[in-house]
A = this chain, B = another copy of it.
Amino acid sequence: MKKFEELDSLFHPKAAAVVGATESPFKHGNWYMRSILNRGFPKEHLYPINPNEKEVLGIKAYPRVQDVPEPLDYVVVAIPKKLIKEVVKDCVEAQVKFVMIFTSGFSESTSEREEGKKLEKELLEIIRGTKTRIVGPNGMGVYSFEGKLSYPYVYNPPQGGTVSFVSQSGGHTVSMASFADFWNNIRFSKMVSYGNGIDLEVTDYLEYFAEDPKTKVINIYVEGVRNGPRFFKTLKEATRIKPVVVWKGGWTAGGSRATLSHTGSLAGSNKIWSMVLKQAGAVQVYSMEELCDVTMAFLRLNPPKGVNTAIVGAGGGLSVVSTDALESAGLRTPPFSEKTREELGEIVPDVGTGISNPIDASYFVYYDLKMYIKILELVDEDPNIDLILLQHEVMWGDRNEELFKIVKEIRERLEKPLVIVLHPSSGPREYQPEMEAERLKIIKQYLNDGFLIYPSIPKASNSVFKVIQYYQFLKNREIQRPLKQHLILLE
């Protein structure tokens, strides 16, 4: 596809330049050079552009993009606003494919909005009919693991991943890269922060990521779109191919006002956004945490057949509370089949533990791990059950390690998808900080071993439910009707 190949060179440029590159260590032009080099972009194809520098970081500098001895795919522009028009004209002349304008103060500016809007129009006029496309302004640009591109502040992990993130906020890509790696072991193949998106906008990147074979799950943070119907159509196509998780910024009245001074976006009504996202089969989330949690479930969960969940572990009050949390997220905890209950009844001693569902297996975790395995096998065979949720508190000493080994062993034998929740310790308050540190460490251990694990039931059940919903939507999508009447309002 022509379109795909066009954008592919944004994420895998052969040659790139930084306008405003400088030796001064306190300027973004310097940081962009460093970030791109750190990510491993070939030195011989990266060009500092600055009429006042001979070289930057040991690389020969050129006064203008036109002077560079090879065609440029990607040019970062980090210079004052008043010089932007000239540089974009230069880029058009040099047949640069993509100009990424980091500079801000355009239509998002409260004090200079009108002037900023005018300048945005002029930039579009300059590139009209040419081969040059604009990323930004007020964006941070492209991170690409395989394309060896990056930008300042963002975390650069040693390995790439299978998630790609289109974001109207640069800050969110920076936070997301750190959080998602730390809490969810999620890494990115590509990210793009496109700010005001006056030329290329969310839809263009979405279209590319939908086709990109390196991308398994698409993440979107969007405040507004220009062409609603095109966005809807593209999104609907994308969700046929892979999950798209969308965090819509500015979905309340106040938040919507705030988007105006962030990216100059008109945010539109949340009701309509939610309907459109639902209709297109996208998964809507409401925070960065939720974006990470749901994405992790897409990456790690074999889609369960339905919402019927067995809760195994923990005791009394926690069973009630977990069931409430789980059911309020949309999952269900049906009673086990009669056969399962009979078989459980035979092996579970009467220690006041519930055996219907939830099953309180905390006793076995402490005293009889072999019996614990047996319980899980019985639950796994129950026809009423689609997935199993194990919940435990973090424990003292090497108990956590023992349980981890058992759970690893069980995983091999179970047919149904497994989700784990590791609760904080409810033990003596004096040891709380140490036990919290221990809990994070153990969660990480499970993550590193490929488990789907969460620090709380609400996070686990919300994420799992949204994954199930997506796959059910895929199944039923033929019967969906279009939602044309609302699309006009998105524009």
Contacts and interface: CB of A to CB of B under 8 A. Distances in A.
Contacts of A262: 316-317, 319-320, 354
Given A252-B327, A315-B171, A429-B182, A354 B261 contact: yes
A109 interface: yes
Given A182-B432, A356-B261, A429-B178, A287 B255 contact: no
B174 A254 contact: no
Interface residues of A, number: 77
Contact of A350 (B112, B253, B335): B112
A420 interface: no
A352 interface: yes
Contact of A257 (B258, B316, B326, B335): B335
Interface in A312-358: 315-321, 323-328, 332-335, 345, 350, 352, 354-358
A169 B317 CA distance: 6
A171 B323 contact: no
A258 B426 contact: no
A184 to B, nearest CB: 12
A410 to B, nearest CB: 23
Nearest to A345: B111
Contacts of A170: 316-317
Contacts of A317: 168-172, 221, 249, 262
B318 A171 contact: yes
Copies of this chain held together in the complex: 2
A53 interface: no
A427 B110 contact: no
Interface in A29-50: none
Contact of A424 (B179, B315, B318, B432): B179
The residue in A109, A175, A177, A179 that gathers the most chain B C-beta atoms within 10 A of its C-beta is A175
A179 B429 CA distance: 7
Interface in A228-281: 249-255, 257-259, 261-262
The residue in A250, A319, A345, A427 that gathers the most chain B C-beta atoms within 10 A of its C-beta is A319
Contact of A327 (B182, B255, B352): B255
Nearest to A457: B287
A315 B261 CA distance: 11
A404 interface: no
A458 interface: yes
A257 B327 CA distance: 12
A382 B95 CA distance: 52
Interface in A389-429: 424-429
A255 B286 contact: no
A440 interface: yes
A254 B332 contact: yes
Nearest to A426: B175
A286 B287 CA distance: 19
Contacts of A354: 110, 258, 261-262
A438 interface: no
A471 interface: no
A288 interface: yes
Contact of A254 (B168, B169, B323, B426): B323
Nearest to A324: B255
Given A255-B323, A258-B319, A287-B325, 7 more contacts: A171-B426, A172-B321, A177-B429, A179-B432, A254-B324, A258-B323, A287-B321
20 contacts: A108-B352, A109-B352, A110-B355, A110-B356, A169-B317, A171-B318, A178-B427, A182-B432, A249-B317, A251-B328, A252-B326, A253-B332, A254-B334, A254-B357, A255-B320, A257-B323, A257-B356, A258-B320, A259-B320, A261-B319
Nearest first, the 4 A-B pairs at minimum CB distance are A169-B317, A252-B327, A255-B324, A175-B426
